[in-house]
Structure formats: C-alpha cells, structure tokens
Amino acid sequence: MNKAQSLEQFCEKYHLNFKNNDLIETALTHSSFVNEHRHKDLEDNERLEFLGDAVLELSMSEFLYKTFSHYSEGEMTKIRAQHVCEAALVEYAQSIQLGDYLRLGKGEEISGGRKRPALLADAFEALLGAIYLDIGYEAVYRFLSDVVFPFIRNGNFINVIDYKSRLQELVQTDNRSIRYEIVSEMGPAHNKTFKSEVYIENDIKLGSGEGHSKKEAEQNAAKVALEKMVYDIEKE
C-alpha cells in the first residue's frame, strides 16, 4: 500500500471528503521536509497548526457547554485546558496513527520524528485547520466526536498538570494579565529547543523555561513562575 492509498483510506475512515487534497498534505508536512525539497513549491504545517489550535478550542468549548450543563465556567475551563494541552494532543494523534502519514525530512525521520510528541501535537492541530478550511466547522466537530470527545465521555482525562492554566488562575485573582514570549530557538530544524519567558503586566518577568516545542517551553516557564510565587509566599 503506498502513502497516497493509505491517506485516502484514512480520510474514508473518518469521513473527510477533501476537495483540495493539497491542504491535508500540507497539514502533514513538517518543516524538515520542506527544507530538504526547496526546489518544490511546498509549505509546512505551521500556519494550519495556528488555525487548528483556535478551531479545537472552540469545538471543545461547544462540546463541554452542551454536554456538562451542570458544570460552572471554572470547571469547564479546567477540563478544556486538560484536553487541549500538548500531552492530550499527542494521545489523540497516536490514537489515529497520525505519525504514519507525516512527511518528514531524512534527519527527522532517522531521529524518530514520527513519534516525537511536539510533531504529533502540531500535526493534529494542523489537520483540524485543514478540515476547517476545506470542509467546514461541522466536519471538524464530527471528526472530534469520533476521535477526541470519547476521551472525555469515558472519563479518560489526561493526567497532566497544566501549569499555564494554574498560573492564569492565580494571576487572575488579582485582575492581572500575563503574556508569553519565545525569546530564542536553538538547534537543528529536526531537534529544536525553544526558550520561553512569561511576564506579568508592566513587563515583570516571572520565569523562563525550555522545551522541544513552543508549548512545552511555555509550560515549563509557567511551572518555574508558579514555583517562584509559592517560594515568595512561603518566605513572607
């Protein structure tokens, strides 16, 4: 079975009737593949990932609102954060063997890119972005109903601490806002390390952290900030 046939079967399985097949191929294209095929007119999946992130959050919010009518805003916010973080996205991607369909550069392939959490999470969001653009929001919601929402209905909550959400909750009690900034990228394209810094309003730096994806770096920065805030409280 060649890759084209297997991708076609993937779309059939999840009722994804793409009119523009270039979109789904772009969703599964890592930057390392584009870098090794510069003579071709290719685009990596980073822009679709950006769109898919927003589509996922909206879809998840709608599902939680309709499904858990007795839950408060705070409870739904915590559940949503738990199920749209990188660890959760990796679970979803693995459940549909999304790594098998990725287009990777040779270096990324050799280094185990098909199983790399950051790549899987990004590709899953990019896939949602492609579905939204080509087929529409209802198709995204149907796809998530097959792949993602059962995790929540069955009580299979992802056991991971969302430090960003915890930090946000803590800061909001004082009506303050926070922002994250990626300040550096190090290493080759197939194995980058990102450094993120988190600031409270008035540009007061709370902490910094590193990771192999921007999301992971932001989570680690939030973790450092939380640990520092707890330490400062204990000193008082």
- Residues known to be catalytic: 53, 125
What span, in angstroms and rounded, lies between the C-alpha atoms of 22 and 28? 10
Residue 166 near residue 230 (C-beta atoms within 8 A): no
| Nearest alpha carbon to residue 124 among 175, 48, 232 | 48
A 10 A CB-CB count for 221 gives 29
